[in-house]
Amino acid sequence: MHIFKKSAFQIYNRTKNFHYSSSRFFSNQSHFEDVSSSMASHLKTRSVIRFRGPDTIKFLQGLVTNDVRKFGEAIGEKTSTLTTPNVSTVSETPIYAAMLTPQGRFLYDLFIYRPSRSYEKLDRTGSKPGSNPTDEPFDLLADVDATVMDELMDCFHKYRLRSNVDIENVSEEFSCWQRFGKNLSTSSESKEEPETSALGWGAGIDKAGQSSTKGDSSGWQWYKDPRLDSLGFRGIFPSNTIPPLVEANKETDELNYLQWRVEKGVAEGSTEIPKGEAMPLEYNFAGLNAISFDKGCYVGQELVARTHHRGVIRKRLLPLKFVDKSGNEVEQKVAPRSEVVGVSSDKKLGTVTTALGSRGMGLLRLEEAFKASGSLSIKGQDDVKIEVIRPDWWPSEWFPDHQHASVA
């Protein structure tokens, strides 16, 4: 499946943002409005790090914004419906987290996974639990931005000190994938892949078929994206395999996944979230389940906690649409880091962070952005107007009109 042709894209700034050029945009509609099936993308902009050793949990707990202690707890009753030997009978969902500077500014983001252990899966016969070898190491895998892999590895090694944890770049062994699209469930509480429920005979579900479709012979499987249900499913898989449910006509370029995120106002990686500059709460990390406010101390925690408890966040990352004076979408007119200004006042209200054809994301002052949507433009480009899109996943208290109502 190729919604966008690769040749239609060009990199505006390889370390910052993408531009897209195509005639297939829909006025007042999502770019994917006429796409009925789900899609899957191999995320070549992401790489994989493995943490191994008894101090892994303690080491990461003091570095990242989310609580990783759940990976060290017994999974207990969190049983999976997948009952065949190839997939774990119990599983723990991944978490999304960030690393910050001591001043609380964004550095790196990462998705952390706990691979299933031997005793959590059935043995090869499927008749009893697997063995529990005493020498099986404790592992966690992290899906990270490939463009900063070297400096991220240096950062981890700087903090490791005497911690008994090995940190290894395993990008040759593993790859990151994302499944997304309109037909993936956004309301189900289940962590299992929705398309597998159609497998089996009649109205019944064939658990064996479901398992073999969702996972492979080593137990790798899809998980709901820990940020938002509408982002679909994410997973780490061996590089020498194609993940389950990824058929030839469903695999699509990674830039389609970027477009999917841009329309929802979700930035990802140090290429889209300015490293050393971005404030996590302004980039909506709390709403993306990336921050635990009761986990205790970590690097940069003080500023994040103080800002959160004050409850005042005047700027946020927002999805944008670029149009001309007649309201028609325009492409390739806006560059990242362009200033957003009011048409009448010429006052700076924010900055475009990502530009992708006629869509983008920008860090804007909320009060003026929603009040003046349609009356915003790019500084020095009076022929380009900006429409601010209200994200449907935002909690109501983030919108200025709700804040005014609360004060009244």
pLDDT tens column, 369-380: 988 766 899 999
The most confident of 4-13, 99-108, 127-136, 175-184, by mean pLDDT? 99-108
pLDDT at residue 390 in the model: 93
What are 144's strand-pairing partners? Answer: 47, 110
Percent pLDDT > 90 in the chain is 57
d(C-alpha 315, C-alpha 319), whole Å: 13
Q: Report, in angstroms and rounded to the nearest whole number, the Rg of the chain calculated over CA atoms.
A: 22
d(C-alpha 104, C-alpha 260), whole Å: 28
pLDDT at residue 382 in the model: 86
Residue 157: CB atoms within 10 A of its CB come to 10
Residue whose structure tokens are 């500014």 = 105
Burial class (CB in 10 A: 0-12, 13-18, 19+), 397: exposed
pLDDT at 195 over 50: no
Evaluate whether 270 touches 95 at the Cβ level (below 8 Å).
no
DSSP SS3 for 33: coil
pLDDT at 342 over 70: yes
Work out the average pLDDT over 319-335.
92
| 106-113 sheet: strands from edge to edge | 95-100, 106-113, 139-145, 46-52, 166-169
Which of the residue ranges 121-130, 158-167, 244-253, 364-373 would you say has the lowest mean pLDDT?
121-130
Work out the average pLDDT over 87-109.
87
Work out the average pLDDT over 31-41.
73
pLDDT at 56 over 80: yes
pLDDT at 14 over 50: no
Token pair for residue 119? 């005793």
The structure's pTM equals 0.82
Please report, as a single letter, which amino acid is at residue 76. Answer: G
Instruction: List alpha helices for 341-407, DSSP H.
Output: 366-371, 400-407
pLDDT at residue 7 in the model: 33
**Alpha-carbon distances of 346 from 95, 157, 373, rounded to whole Å:** 41, 47, 14
